Amino acid sequence: MSALRTAVVTGGGRGLGRAYAIALAAAGHAVIVNDLGDGPADAVVAEIEAAGGTALVSRHDVTDFAATAELVELAVERFGGLDVVVANAGILRDRTLAAMAESEWDDVIAVHLKGTFTIAHHAAAHWRARSKAGDAVDGRLITTTSASGLYGNIGQSNYAAAKAGIAGFTLVAAQELRPYGVSVNCVAPSALTRLTEAPLLRYEGAITDRRREELDPNWVARVVAWLCGPGARDVTGQVFDIRGPRVGIASGWRLEPAFTQPDDLDELDQALRSAIAAAPPAADMEGQRNG
């Protein structure tokens, strides 16, 4: 067994994944940098090795169940086990609901939602087997949601469905994997990457140097590295909304307020309207209370 802890970062060839891979390598992990095609993952591995770290390329497609089993197997063969998974790979196919093509829905659900399940499933099976064999597992699974999935953003019903699904998935995985010594947390990042450059330019007109600094992926990577480090072993089932230097906890759904249905339909109408008025308003895309 290698002295280094081993991490897999899916979509690690660009943007946020690249920053996570570099931060995890600097924190003493052997990192398997997963991405599609020739180029992006190789460049990140070269960068990590040039800095004295240990890294390996994986070109497995996260939408492929069998390929992600091979990815976990690669970690076991090359580094003796797997300790950290950052399920980060992502794509966008933005379109309003009425105009969205079936392939735009399917592709986004496949990469984000299935692509989180595939790698998480095989890693979970690996951790369960080690735990049952008496190993002291200290596993970390980091999943990736989005403000769009938590708060709602026009033109992203496919992406929001996948990302909200991943937040729910995280809560279940945190409960299921805790007995095996694995913590599971979710990040909702904001960063300037290939994925967000065009939409940011559309909304903000120009990207100032100050915005570039605020949206540096390294802000998110700091929190991810912390979640994967020795101090955060007990932290599980949380969703972190990270917007550059500002970071917070995205709190979940609450049953608030609740009441017993009256028999009379007019009274039910009144009671439902009162409950809606008394309920905390949904948050806007800044995660703040609307209205």
Ligand X SMILES: NC(=O)c1ccc[n+]([C@@H]2O[C@H](COP(=O)([O-])OP(=O)(O)OC[C@H]3O[C@@H](n4cnc5c(N)ncnc54)[C@H](O)[C@@H]3O)[C@@H](O)[C@H]2O)c1
Q: Which residues bind ligand X (CB under 6 A)?
A: 10-11, 13-17, 34-36, 40, 61-63, 88-91, 111, 115, 144, 146, 189-191, 193-196
Please tell me which residue in 20, 58, 146, 190 is annotated as part of the active site.
146
Residues 178, 236: Cα–Cα separation, whole Å: 8
Shortest distance in whole angstroms from residue 135 CB to ligand X: 28
* Residues present in the chain in total: 291
23, with CB counted inside 10 A (0-12, 13-18, 19+), is buried
- Tokens 């797997």 locate to 82
Q: Which is nearer to ligand X, 45 or 89 (CB)?
A: 89
146 catalytic per annotation: yes
Strands 246-249 and 239-243: antiparallel
Shortest distance in whole angstroms from residue 198 CB to ligand X: 11
| 154 token code pair | 């026009």
114 catalytic per annotation: no
Q: Which is nearer to ligand X, 33 or 174 (CB)?
A: 33
Helix 65-79 vs helix 115-132: crossing angle, to nearest 10: 40
The Cβ of residue 67 has, within 10 Å, a number of other Cβ atoms equal to 17
Q: Which is nearer to ligand X, 21 or 30 (CB)?
A: 21
Shortest distance in whole angstroms from residue 41 CB to ligand X: 8
Q: Which is nearer to ligand X, 144 or 185 (CB)?
A: 144
Shortest distance in whole angstroms from residue 201 CB to ligand X: 13
Q: Which residues are catalytic?
A: 146, 159, 163
